[in-house]
Amino acid sequence: MIPDEVRSEVSQLRELLRYHNRLYYTENRIEITDGEYDALMRRLSEIESRWPELATEDSPTLRVGSKPLSSFPSLFWDPPMLSLDNVFSTEEFSEFDKRIRRELKLEKDPSYSVEPKLDGLAVALVYENGILVKAGTRGDGSEGEDITPNARTLRAIPLRLSGDPPPALVVRGEVIFRKADFQKMNRERKARGQELFINPRNAASGSLRQLDSRITASRPLSFIAYGTAMWPEGITSQHSLFDMLGKLGIPVNPYNSVCRGAEEVEKACHRLEENRDELSWEIDGVVIKLDEDSLQKRMGTLSRFPRWATARKFKAEEAVTKLIDIDVQVGRTGRLTPVARLEPVFVGGVTVSSATLHNEDELAKKDVRPGDTVIVRRAGDVIPEVVRSLGRSEGERRERFRFPRSCPVCNGPVAREEDTSAHRCMNPSCPAKIRESLFHWGCRDALDIEGLGRKLSEQLVDKGLVKDVSDLYRLTSHQLVFLDRMGDISANNLINELDKSRGTNLQRFITGLGIPGIGRTVSGLLSDRFRSLSEVMDASADDFLSIEGIGPVLADNLQRFFNEKITRNVVNRLLNAGFNPESSEVDDVEKPLQGLTVVFTGGISTPRPDARSMAEDAGGKVTESVSSKTDLVIVGPGAGSKLQKARELGIEIIDESEFLKRINRDGRILFEKRE
Ligand code: IVH
- Residue among 162, 256, 177, 174 nearest 219 (CA): 177
- Ligand 1 in reach of 306 Cβ (< 6 A): yes
Query: What is the rounded CA–CA span in Å between residue 641 and residue 599?
Result: 12
Q: Identify the domain containing residue 113 by its residue range.
A: 86-98+107-305
d(CA 661, CA 491) in angstroms, rounded, equals 32
**Confidence band of 347 (pLDDT split at 50, 70, 90):** confident
CATH number of the CATH domain containing 604: 3.40.50.10190
What's the pLDDT score for residue 665? 60
Cβ(122) – ligand 1 distance below 6 Å: yes
Q: What is the CATH number of the domain that holds 18?
A: 1.10.287.610
Which residue has the least CA distance to atom 21 on ligand 1? Answer: 122
Nearest-5° Cα angle at 97, 95 to 98:
65
Q: Average pLDDT of 668-673?
A: 29
Question: What pLDDT, on a 0 to 100 scale, did the predictor assign at position 617?
Answer: 78
Let me know whether 32 and 93 are in one domain. no
Residue 560 belongs to domain with CATH number: 1.10.150.20
DSSP 53: G
- Tell me, yes or no, whether 361 and 444 share the same domain: no
SS3 466: coil
In a domain, 118, yes or no: yes
Q: Do 583 and 615 touch, CB atoms closer than 8 A?
A: no
Structural domains in the chain (count): 5
3-state secondary structure 208-238: HCCCCHHHHHCCCCEEEEEEECCCCCCCCEH
CA distance 14 to 526: 61
- Indicate the SS3 state at residue 97: helix
- What pLDDT, on a 0 to 100 scale, did the predictor assign at position 420? 66
What CA–CA distance (Å, rounded) separates 77 from 300? 18
Catalytically active residues, by annotation: 117
Whether 538 and 634 share a structural domain: no
Q: What is the pLDDT of residues 512-546, one digit of tens each?
A: 998 888 888 889 899 999 999 999 999 999 999 99
57 with 176, same domain? no
For ligand 1, is residue 119 a contact (CB within 6 Å)?
Answer: no
CA of 225 to the centre of ligand 1 (A): 10
Residue ID of nearest Cα to ligand 1 atom 13:
122
Q: Is residue 312 part of a domain?
A: no
570-593 mean pLDDT: 80
Residue 669 has pLDDT above 70, yes or no: no
Q: Do residue 378 and residue 515 come from a single domain?
A: no
CA distance 15 to 249: 13
Query: Could you tell me if residue 292 is inside a domain?
Result: yes
In a domain, 552, yes or no: yes
Q: Give the CA angle between residues 201, 656, 548 to the nearest 5°.
A: 125
On whether both 154 and 288 belong to a single domain, the answer is yes
Shared-domain flag, residues 528 and 630: no
Q: For residue 54, report the distance from its CA to the centre of ligand 1, in Å.
A: 39
Q: Residue 587 domain-assigned? A: no
Is the whole-model pTM more than 0.85?
Answer: no
Do 268 and 225 reside in the same domain of the chain? yes
Q: How many CB atoms lie within 10 A of CB 440?
A: 21
- Claim to verify: residue 295 and residue 324 sit in the same structural domain: no
**Nearest-angstrom CA–CA distance, 224 and 238:** 15
CA distance 598 to 325: 38
* pLDDT value at residue 380: 54
* 585 secondary structure, DSSP code: S
Q: For residues 212 and 188, state if they share a domain.
A: yes
Dist CA 495 CA 483 (whole Å): 14
Which residue did the predictor score with more confidence, 245 or 639? 245
594 three-class SS: coil
Number of H helices, E strands in the chain: 25, 22
Boundary (domain end) residue, out of 389, 406, 424: 389
Report the CATH number that the domain containing residue 280 is assigned in CATH: 3.30.470.30
User: Of 284, 305, 326, which marks where a domain is finished?
Assistant: 305
**What single-letter DSSP state applies at residue 138?**
-
Q: Do residues 291 and 326 share a domain? A: no
Residue nearest to atom 17 of ligand 1 (CA): 117
| Whether residue 149 is found in the same domain as residue 283 | yes
Q: Give the position, in ligand 1's atom list, of the atom nearest the Cα of 86.
A: 7
